[in-house]
Chain A
């Protein structure tokens, strides 16, 4: 079973003042839950300010357990009326919010929120339907190069594969065609992207890919399940990439590999007009940065993979250029960046006309460089992987 069905655990993280619930919580009698009462008693004597109840990885709960938690919170809020109690549910577990919202009735100091709605600042932008053309054109030029990288980083036929932050699912489709996996699960938190992915799969009569709505930072997948876990161009858009990397590590089998790609966007280059191109990409990277994204994450992967205990780490550059990729398709990618960065990001910050003009000129110079017979341009992406 790939989905989490393991018995529940409840752990108090004193440092973060958080009680973390996970797994399947379906006890027969409340005496099975004495540890939870003990934790609430400990909390009562030790903390002040705000207590967090993290329910993101609680896959199931029965009503006996729910009542017990209700009673514990009720008891605590009476004992410590000044304590704020914040309950974090997730939209990935469809029953979660509608069940836990009842806890708000205990006291005004108890709040319940869907944590993944506001996980990172740029989430709304990335999950928006308007981002689909950007993703689609990018895959067009990357896949031709990436297939060889995947082989070098350990992807083989007949593997159990998870593609986390799968976007519109086009990479999963290519992997499915080229590597015939035993099972391929593609997870994303954008409903429009998943809808698009499923529609493409339906139109092309593709079966064998499970597109699943999920939160990369709290995956509802069992530990040690996949031979190969991919997460492409995604850690760079979260402001807490270590949380996601930890999850990728958890679901990867011992001996399996986690495969990442991330950019150094400000280092996109081209000639002629190299200065204009350089300025534009540095600015664009900064604009993405204002949304909480770090499009320079590519060169940080080595550090993050090490800190997450990966072994046999490989890091190497993969640079689509007008020589190794189709210049026309590459130009389409840059055009989609131009539209997005100038029309959405710069406009969103109310930048003046001169700034937007200069920003747009750099993208257009980049297009000229890669489509000119003697011009040259590229997009630096870093490929990294590590063994669990």
Chain B
């Protein structure tokens, strides 16, 4: 299916819709969904194993962030698109003030600072793990373009992660 709207032009590969409450009942859901979806979207890739492993790394960071910042009982929707050589993960996530603030901070941090420095700082800091670490890694190591859109009712956001894991010649990016 070719989806063509203001923000997305690409081939929709799959879409998942699940209850946030059910999802956050078990941490393993992040890993299981990441691996399952990765295999699904990699089946037509030149080296499906290598692509799937990389894609799993990327989508897992998104799912872990959704898990750690869950704020309600509504549903989560994650859609994956192929846009040229890019993979695009668009997540529609229910938010409250706290979780909205988390995503806003991530985007503002990425806009105003150097992702590599921030990622390095978060890994090296003594304070413990910061849930935004994964987004900085995606921007620093995978050149991911991460953006956020607030829905008018203020109750949902659309988080987009665009990343190129397979350049034109078909070899998986290293």
- On whether A26 and B171 interact (CB within 8 A), knowing A63-B129, A70-B124, the answer reads no
A40 within 8 A of B: no
Residues from 197 to 223 in A contacting B, C-beta threshold 8 Å: 198, 210-214, 220
A299 vs B128: C-alpha distance when bound (angstroms): 56
Residues from 294 to 346 in A contacting B, C-beta threshold 8 Å: none
A5 within 8 A of B: yes
- Which residues of B have CB within 8 Å of A220? 49, 53
- Chain B interface size band reads 20 to 34
A354 vs B172: C-alpha distance when bound (angstroms): 47
B46 within 8 A of A: yes
CB distance from A245 to the nearest CB of B (A): 22
A95 vs B163: C-alpha distance when bound (angstroms): 14
Nearest chain B residue, comparing its CB with the CB of A91 = B174
Contacting pair A63 B137 (CB below 8 A): yes
- Which residues of A have CB within 8 Å of B35? 1, 3, 5, 24, 60
Q: Is the interface of A mostly helix, strand, loop or mixed?
A: mixed
- Which residues of A have CB within 8 Å of B53? 3, 59-60, 93-95, 220
CB distance from A63 to the nearest CB of B (A): 4
Residues from 32 to 86 in B contacting A, C-beta threshold 8 Å: 34-35, 39, 46-50, 52-54, 56-57, 60-61, 64
- Which residues of A have CB within 8 Å of B27? 27-28
A102 vs B118: C-alpha distance when bound (angstroms): 13
Contacting pair B54 A63 (CB below 8 A): no
A26 vs B29: C-alpha distance when bound (angstroms): 11
Contacting pair A62 B49 (CB below 8 A): no
- Which residues of B have CB within 8 Å of A94? 50, 53-54, 172-174
B134 within 8 A of A: yes
A258 vs B30: C-alpha distance when bound (angstroms): 35
A207 vs B134: C-alpha distance when bound (angstroms): 37
- On whether A62 and B47 interact (CB within 8 A), knowing A91-B174, A95-B141, A102-B120, the answer reads no
A47 vs B80: C-alpha distance when bound (angstroms): 48
A92 within 8 A of B: yes
B104 within 8 A of A: no
Contacting pair A98 B141 (CB below 8 A): yes
CB distance from B128 to the nearest CB of A (A): 8
Residues from 229 to 263 in A contacting B, C-beta threshold 8 Å: none
A179 vs B134: C-alpha distance when bound (angstroms): 45
B31 within 8 A of A: yes
A66 within 8 A of B: yes
- Which residues of A have CB within 8 Å of B122? 67
A62 vs B133: C-alpha distance when bound (angstroms): 10
Nearest chain A residue, comparing its CB with the CB of B48 = A210
A66 vs B34: C-alpha distance when bound (angstroms): 18
Interface string of A46-67 (1 = CB under 8 A from B): 0000000000000110111011
- On whether A67 and B60 interact (CB within 8 A), knowing A1-B35, A91-B174, the answer reads no
A66 vs B120: C-alpha distance when bound (angstroms): 12
A273 within 8 A of B: no
Quick one: which of B31, B39, B49, B137 contacts A212, CB cutoff 8 A?
B49
Contacting pair B54 A95 (CB below 8 A): yes
Nearest chain A residue, comparing its CB with the CB of B43 = A210
Listed by A's residue number, 17 A-B pairs whose Cβ atoms lie within 8 Å are: A3-B49, A5-B35, A24-B31, A26-B31, A26-B60, A30-B129, A59-B53, A60-B34, A63-B133, A67-B123, A67-B129, A98-B141, A105-B120, A105-B124, A191-B171, A212-B50, A213-B47
10 additional A-B residue pairs with CB within 8 Å, beyond A191-B171, A210-B49, A213-B49:
A26-B30, A27-B27, A60-B53, A62-B61, A67-B122, A68-B129, A94-B50, A94-B172, A99-B141, A102-B123
Complex A-B, nearest 6 residue pairs according to Cβ-Cβ distance, in ascending order: A28-B27, A63-B133, A212-B49, A64-B129, A26-B31, A5-B35
